[in-house]
Amino acid sequence: MRRSRKVKILATIGPASSSVEMIRKLFEAGADVFRINMSHSDHALMRTLVERIRSVEQELGRPIGILADLQGPKLRVGKFADGKVALEVGQAFTLDDDPTPGDARRVHLPHPEILQSVAVGDRLLIDDGKLQLKAVRCDGRSIETTVVAGDRISDKKGVSLPDTELPVGALTEKDRADLDAVLATGVDWVALSFIQRPDDLAEARKIARGRALLMSKIEKPQAVTRLAEIIELSDALMVARGDLGVEMPLEMVPGIQKQITRAARRAGKPVVVATQMLESMITAPVPTRAEVSDVSIAVFEGADAIMLSAESAAGSYPVEAVAMMNRIAEQVERDPLYSSIINAQRSEPEATGADAISLAARQIAETLNLSAIVSYTASGTTGLRAARERPRVPIIALSPVVETARRLSLLWGTHCVVTPDASDLDDMVKRACTIAQAEGFGGEGDRVIITAGVPLRTPGSTNMLRIAYLGTDGRR
């Protein structure tokens, strides 16, 4: 099943889309990777969803990626005696370590790390920023604040801290248990929420031990500040615009999205743009014009994937949402300006053999108008470097490792095929030509360019280019 676009679609599975039939329909409509949100899934449900996705994968014969999204630390205020209170701008309000139910003057904050870290002048945003507080006095056990905006607060509302770096890791006890559970099922990607610093990746990587790739969700100002370091230690990035728009001024989010997308592309790391892309399709069969433009901007930027959240997980039109995103992406990539924008953002290759080969393969394929670039890749590195070049022609990633093919299904422009390892160079060329033709990338007499490492089965040794003809043994 060949896609007519290069950007990938990441669809969240939920109550509206968790059956085998719905997963199949979403894939057929255009979903390439499925997301399981561990904020709303227990371990039993997660295992069931993984089994259902794998059954669809086996039925359709295409590698399908699975992303498990960890919840991350959820910071919330305590409860009020009456469930909620009204506040006024300018009044004093305190958050403290007293578990007594709150009132209009104070409330319990059951997070000592916040009480000990917030400094005078720091902002505290409650309930996705609907209530904004500013710290005026801090003593380690309480934070006295002034109400800057908003007029109410109620039980268990979330707390965001855009100015404060907390001295705790990104993994909670729930996340550790969830991580062990998702790794045991063989998911391909794990998304880490509320990353603040490069060190936040260390524990998850130690637990994962290569069993899944790590995606850092950029949703805090502290992460934006240390973006280059986080990119270096991550396998992929997600522009998580929901929390990012709470913790930072909304008008800054579009520029940060471009900054993250371009930085990830330079590094050759996949980047996903997420949150509220087709939000109105949760309840409506068509999106707004602004949402269509929002999706198109992410595609024009060259993002590897664009994501649906509640639209596909809990909305009334999950299949329609995926199909709409698919149509938008296809149309953008047909636009006369698309190639010039993608080319203008292309980065210089790094001084490595893999990058040199990938650059040469793109230039040759585009100069000679070849049908595809065929990359043999066991670990996935060759596929990553080929996609970094953003070639006009499709990339066919051939791998004997099914886990690698599933992981690369998130990657821009990459059509993944699982195939037994070639026995020698001639077998490799024949296999590449046979698969390219069988998968619909050309007919007899068309040409492809093949990249691989020689000797075979040597990870990271990409050093060969070969132009071959389809419909023959590769020679003419």
Distance CA(124)–CA(161), nearest Å, equals 5
What residue has token string 């053999």?
353
Contacts of 152 by beta carbon, 8 Å cutoff, 6+ apart: 84, 85, 86, 87, 130, 131
Instruction: Give 74's contacts (C-beta < 8 A, 6+ positions apart).
Output: 158, 172
> Rounded distance, CA 37 to CA 68, Å?
6
- Residues 16, 13: Cα–Cα separation, whole Å: 8
Angle at CA of residue 105, ends 102 and 111, nearest 5°? 55
Handedness of CA 313, 316, 319, 324 (dihedral sign): negative
Provide the token pair at 337.
């300006």
| C-alpha distance from residue 148 to each of 57, 154, 239 (Å) | 52, 17, 28
In this structure, the number of other CB atoms found within 10 A of the CB of residue 96 comes to 18
Q: What is the DSSP string of 385-409?
A: HHHHT--SS-EEEEES-HHHHHHHT
Contacts 24+ apart (CB under 8 A), 221-224: 221/162, 221/163, 221/247, 221/248, 222/165, 222/196, 222/197, 223/195, 223/196, 223/197, 224/248, 224/256, 224/259, 224/260
Catalytic residue set? 35, 76, 217, 275
> What is the β-pairing status of strands 447-453 and 462-469?
antiparallel
Closest CA relative to residue 270, chosen from 430, 144, 413, 377: 413
Helix locations, 268-317, DSSP H: 289-300, 310-313
